Every structure is written in structure tokens, then in C-alpha cells.
């Protein structure tokens, strides 16, 4: 599906997708069949002391572009002028940032962008997990979707489609309390409660949470704890499919499935759950072949409903940027 571009917006727009680890920038504009992403560029957030510094550096690289405004999707709650990115040190005032980069700035939650991107995705941008398949009902039909994605943190959003128009539900659902689904997961929670006064879902089901989960699994199984990065965990798991890291990724897949099913129940997202995020893409084989779908459907009296809900991984490499662009021109 593709959103129709508004003919009233002909200007160049600076768009960004800003997470805990990376920031991605591009320019877009309306007037084409598909939303363009021009001059794409990625930086590590650790390489710049401030967001304004990163934006000004990017703008200086492309003097031929003359954006009149900026739309920034950030991994943070957006409740006022003051913004603090959840998993990196950047903090800023929206109004002050606009003055520093010389244009009006709109800031949206990163999962608002992820939810906004859904109508713009093509078939090749999605990979199904499980047997349930998307409905072929007309777009005018009332629908509800959920978006759940582990990146550096854990994002949650929703989309309600009514009479052909999409309304995005903003959320910080990744910070709800972690809910164990069995005795083993209860033991994982007990381990983490010795480290954190409150254990959110994000503490386990995210890129940053993978290290927590690895250490908790090791502790529950009576093994020596390891300090590994998410990349090292996935590499070690691939090399040793029966080892601690592989078992951790299987647990991760089950926890993600259980959480995604809970989000579907909470939002009434009977039409589908989409899973974006770099972590999701990197762990696609573990999610597709592991216990994700079993735990997604394992909802007691409502299991029959969950069995009918399709789950799809978003494989578009710049879904967050594209979502910010769709929001900007929509």
C-alpha cells in the first residue's frame, strides 16, 4: 500500500530517525508516487555531543538541499518542548533546536514513525512469522494494528484505520512491567530484581536487554556470567547452537512473542502485529524458527483469537526514516 502524497507540500523536508545507538538522516518531499529518501546518512550517536551538532554536520554535507522544516522521530516520549532520548545522552529543547538549525522542527515518537510507515510498505518489505495471513479486506474497512519492535530499547505503537484514514497511537509500552509466563521466567525476574528496583519488559526484550537476559539465564542455570555485546551474543549463538548464547536467544524469541501477544490483546490489534527494528531483523531466524509464534498464541481463553492474528517482520532497511517522511508529507 502507498499513501497518496499531498500536492500542497512541495518543499524539501529534513527527516531523521534517532535511536539509542544510531541516528539516520535524509531529505524528502511530496509529489512522487513513492515517498523518496534522498542523501541518506547514518551516524553513531556517540560521535556527537548534541543532536544539533549531528544535524548541522549533516546539513553542511548537502548545501544543495534547502529544507524548510524538519521532522524528527526520536526514541523518547514526546510530551512537551523538552526531549530526552531514552537510551543515549542527547537531550534538547524542540524550540531551541529549531533556532540552532534554522528551521521549524516537529518531533514525533519513533514508533509513531514506525506506525506511520505501514501504508507505504511493499510486499517485499515484510516477512510473515507463523501461519496466519493478512486479511484482504478493503482499506476502507475498520482495522487495528500493533507495532512492536526491539531496537536499542523496546518500542510499541498502534494504528487504527477508519474509512481509509490511519490514526497512530503513541505509546511507551516497552516500559510496562515484565510479566513472566512460566516458572523459568519467574526465576529470570528474581535475578533481575537484585539489579533493578523495577524490571520493565525493555530490560530483557531489547538490544540493550540482551546482555541482561544472558546474565539472568546464566545465573538461573548456575553458569558463569558473561559480558557480551548483542553482536557477540548472536555470533556465539550461530557458532554454538546448543550453547548459553543460543539458549538465551531462544528465550528472547519466546519473551518477544509473549509480549507481542499481550500488546495485541491490549490494543485489540486483531488485524496484525508488525515487528520492526534492527534487532528484530538480526534475530529473524531465531524469531521465525523459535518459540515466538507459540508464545504469541498462548493466551489461555483467547488463544483462538491470537491464532488468527498475522505477525510480520518489517525488513525495510530504513523503515523509521520512511515513516518520518510519510508523516511529514501526509
| C-alpha cell belonging to residue 70 | 524538519
Per-residue pLDDT tens over the stretch 225-249 = 888 999 999 999 999 999 999 999 9
Name the band, by pLDDT with cuts 50, 70 and 90, for residue 7: very low
DSSP 163-232: TTEEEEE---GGGSBP---SHHHHHHHHHHHTT-SS-BGGGTSSHHHHHHHHHHHHHHTT-------HHH
Q: Are residues 163 and 46 in the same domain?
A: no
Residue 123 lies in a domain: no
Count Cβ atoms below 10 Å from residue 125 Cβ, excluding itself: 18
Q: Which domain holds residue 23?
A: 13-117+318-329
Distances in Å between the Cα of 50 and the Cα atoms of 54, 73, 171 are 7, 16, 25
Q: Are residues 23 and 45 in the same domain?
A: yes
Q: Are residues 151 and 286 in the same domain?
A: yes
CATH number at 277 reads: 3.40.367.20
pLDDT at position 1 over 50:
no
Q: Are residues 249 and 325 in the same domain?
A: no
Residue 8 lies in a domain: no
Residue 156 lies in a domain: yes
Q: Are residues 135 and 267 in the same domain?
A: yes
Q: What is the pLDDT of residue 170?
A: 82
Q: Are residues 102 and 135 in the same domain?
A: no
CATH number at 92 reads: 3.30.420.40
Give the number of domains in the chain. 2
Name the band, by pLDDT with cuts 50, 70 and 90, for residue 9: very low
Q: Are residues 175 and 280 in the same domain?
A: yes
Does 19 appear as a known binding residue? yes
Q: Are residues 287 and 256 in the same domain?
A: yes
Q: What is the pLDDT of residue 39?
A: 96
Residue 253 lies in a domain: yes
Does 18 appear as a known binding residue? yes
Count Cβ atoms below 10 Å from residue 138 Cβ, excluding itself: 8
Q: Are residues 180 and 89 in the same domain?
A: no
Q: Are residues 261 and 289 in the same domain?
A: yes
Name the band, by pLDDT with cuts 50, 70 and 90, for residue 134: confident
Q: Which residue has cell 514506525?
A: 114
Amino acid at each position: 500500500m502507498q499513501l497518496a502524497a499531498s500536492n500542497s507540500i512541495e518543499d524539501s523536508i529534513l527527516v531523521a530517525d534517532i535511536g539509542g545507538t544510531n541516528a539516520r538522516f535524509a531529505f524528502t518531499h511530496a509529489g512522487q508516487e513513492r515517498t523518496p529518501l534522498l542523501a541518506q546518512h547514518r551516524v553513531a550517536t556517540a560521535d556527537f555531543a548534541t543532536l544539533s551538532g549531528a544535524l548541522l554536520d549533516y546539513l553542511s554535507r548537502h548545501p544543495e538541499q534547502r529544507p524548510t522544516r524538519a521532522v524528527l522521530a526520536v526514541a523518547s516520549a514526546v510530551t512537551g518542548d523538552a526531549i530526552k532520548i531514552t537510551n543515549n545522552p542527547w537531550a534538547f529543547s524542540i524550540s531551541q533546536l529549531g533556532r540552532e538549525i534554522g528551521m521549524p522542527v516537529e518531533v514525533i515518537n519513533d514508533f509513531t514513525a514506525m506506525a506511520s510507515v505501514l501504508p507505504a510498505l511493499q510486499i517485499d518489505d515484510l516477512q510473515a512469522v507463523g501461519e496466519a495471513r493478512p486479511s484482504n479486506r478493503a482499506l476502507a474497512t475498520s482495522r487495528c494494528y500493533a507495532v512492536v519492535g526491539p531496537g536499542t530499547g523496546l518500542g510499541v505503537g498502534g494504528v487504527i484505520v477508519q474509512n481509509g484514514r490511519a490514526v497512530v497511537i503513541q505509546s511507551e509500552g516497552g516500559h510496562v512491567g515484565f510479566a513472566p509466563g512460566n516458572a523459568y521466567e519467574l526465576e529470570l525476574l528474581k535475578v533481575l530484581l537484585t539489579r533493578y528496583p523495577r524490571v520493565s519488559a525493555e530490560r530483557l526484550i531489547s538490544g540493550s536487554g540482551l546482555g541482561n537476559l544472558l546474565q539472568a539465564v546464566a545465573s538461573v542455570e548456575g553458569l558463569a556470567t558473561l559480558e557480551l555485546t548483542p553482536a557477540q551474543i548472536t555470533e556465539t549463538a550461530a557458532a554454538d547452537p546448543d550453547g548459553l548464547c543460543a539458549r538465551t536467544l531462544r528465550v528472547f524469541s519466546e519473551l518477544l512473542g509473549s509480549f507481542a501477544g499481550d500488546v495485541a490483546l491490549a490494543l485489540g490489534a486483531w488485524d496484525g502485529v508488525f515487528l520492526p527494528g534492527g534487532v528484530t531483523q538480526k534475530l529473524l531466524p531465531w524469531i521465525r524458527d523459535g518459540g515466538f509464534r507459540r508464545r504469541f498464541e498462548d493466551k489461555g481463553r483467547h488463544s483462538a483469537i491470537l491464532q488468527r492474528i498475522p505477525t510480520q517482520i518489517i525488513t525495510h532497511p530504513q523503515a523509521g526514516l520512511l515513516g518520518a517522511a510519510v508523516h511529514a508529507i501526509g
